[in-house]
Amino acid sequence: MKVAISLVACLLSVSSVLANEALIQKAKNSGLVAIPAEKTALMEMIDDKNDPITKQKVELGKKLYFDPRISKSGIISCNTCHNLALGGADGIPAAIGHMWTKNPHNLNSPTVYNSVFFKAQFWDGRSPHLADQAQGPVQAGPEMAAAPELVEKRITSIPEYVDEFKGAYGTDVKINFEKITATIATFEKTLVTPSRFDDFLNGNKNALTKDEKEGLSTFIDKGCVSCHTGIALGGTMQPFEIASKYKFTNVGDFKGDKNGMVKTPTLRNITETAPYFHNGQIWSLSDAVKEMGSVQLGIDINDKDAAKIVTFLKSLKGEKPQIIYPQLPESTLKTPKPEFN
């Protein structure tokens, strides 16, 4: 009797192992990619040989990311709309910027976490990488409204910042707008959040629960991976409203790029980044899943299947890098004053 029980247990164990391996392969075959478990492999993926990531650049970039003085008013920082304590977003439908201006297109602030993996930046994909993207919000009138010359004068008027740039780039460094924003981008590259989903794809078959594995399988079977794929589970330009009209399509005037393509948002940490869609009109993750089924896939995702997918999506909440709020260097009498017009 004991032999029979042991044999059954062994068979069940083998069956479970085979099922897990099959699901991992299914996920990989559908285009899903894990964040590498090894730091060396991750660095090879995110680093730039022409501007390598160093501790000094990251620390300087972090200060600049949190420094509101790179905005015209002196009260808006990168962290205002991409709050690292709020999933890298701001938790409101449309971004609010200079002089309490709402984004004129009613665009929602996307998360900055894992943005290094995106193939395109901004909802219309107009920037190819983070260093270019970082220049946009700083200058945009409805956002930080700071001219490049103003940002340069603010930063170079602060001796501690000048010394830190020299320490990070060498004594002959030219501290211009491009260098300042590229340094912010270097910090942003490090905002990677590996999750239990990555552990599962990397071979830890117990990293996901039975329900999460079922949700992953449903996510793939329903076709969600046609847009939410790759290491970011998003971040690529895709056609929008393929099968039907998005129910809130008239909130704001955003219609995508010139070809009607829209950057697919990442699903990593998605439980932290409501409201959803480019104009931030849906607050329920389950409702967002069902709306995507209708708009993009032309299918009706029922409540049961939506719940399964949401269960999987929760496993994408990753481990955040520890961020200690920096003490920023003092302004001087030469530092340009805040402007509120």
pLDDT over 70 percentage in the chain? 96
Structure tokens, 218:
């449903």
One domain, residues 55 and 179: yes
One domain, residues 111 and 162: yes
Does 168 map to a domain? yes
10 labelled ligand-binding: no
Which entry of 21, 44, 59, 143 is annotated as an active-site residue? Answer: 143
**What CA–CA distance (Å, rounded) separates 167 from 162?**
9
- Structural domain including 228 reads 30-42+195-314
**What CA–CA distance (Å, rounded) separates 183 from 201?**
32
Mean pLDDT of the region 149-172: 98
CATH number of the domain where residue 213 is located? 1.10.760.10
Q: What is the dihedral of CA 174, 179, 184, 190, to 10 degrees?
A: -100
User: What is the band of 18 on the pLDDT scale with cuts at 50, 70, 90?
Assistant: confident
Domain final residue, candidates 173, 189, 205? 189
At residue 267's C-alpha, the angle toward residues 263 and 268, to 5°, is: 120
105 labelled ligand-binding: no
Whether pLDDT at 11 is above 60? no
Does 213 map to a domain? yes
Place of tokens 């895709």: 238
227 labelled ligand-binding: yes
DSSP sequence for 202-234: TT-TTSS-HHHHHHHHHHHHTTGGGTS-BTTT-
Domain final residue, candidates 189, 222, 254? 189
Mean pLDDT of the region 154-158: 98
Establish how many alpha carbons lie within 13 A of residue 174's alpha carbon, considering only the half-sphere containing its beta carbon. Answer: 3
Contact 78, 186 (CB under 8 A): no
| Of the candidates 183, 190, 199, the residue with the CA atom closest to the CA atom of residue 322 | 190
81 labelled ligand-binding: yes
**Does the bond joining 275 to the residue before it have cis omega, within 30 degrees of 0?**
yes
One domain, residues 174 and 226: no
Tell me how far CA of residue 88 lies from CA of 66, 119, 173, 268, 269, in angstroms: 13, 18, 30, 11, 9
Annotation marks residue 272 as catalytic: no
The per-residue pLDDT of the chain, averaged, comes to 95
Task: Count the domains in the chain.
Answer: 2
Residue 322 is predicted with a pLDDT of 96
Mean pLDDT of the region 335-339: 97
Mean pLDDT of the region 100-114: 97
One domain, residues 204 and 222: yes
Mean pLDDT of the region 268-274: 98
228 labelled ligand-binding: yes
One domain, residues 156 and 55: yes
One domain, residues 148 and 232: no
Does 141 map to a domain? yes
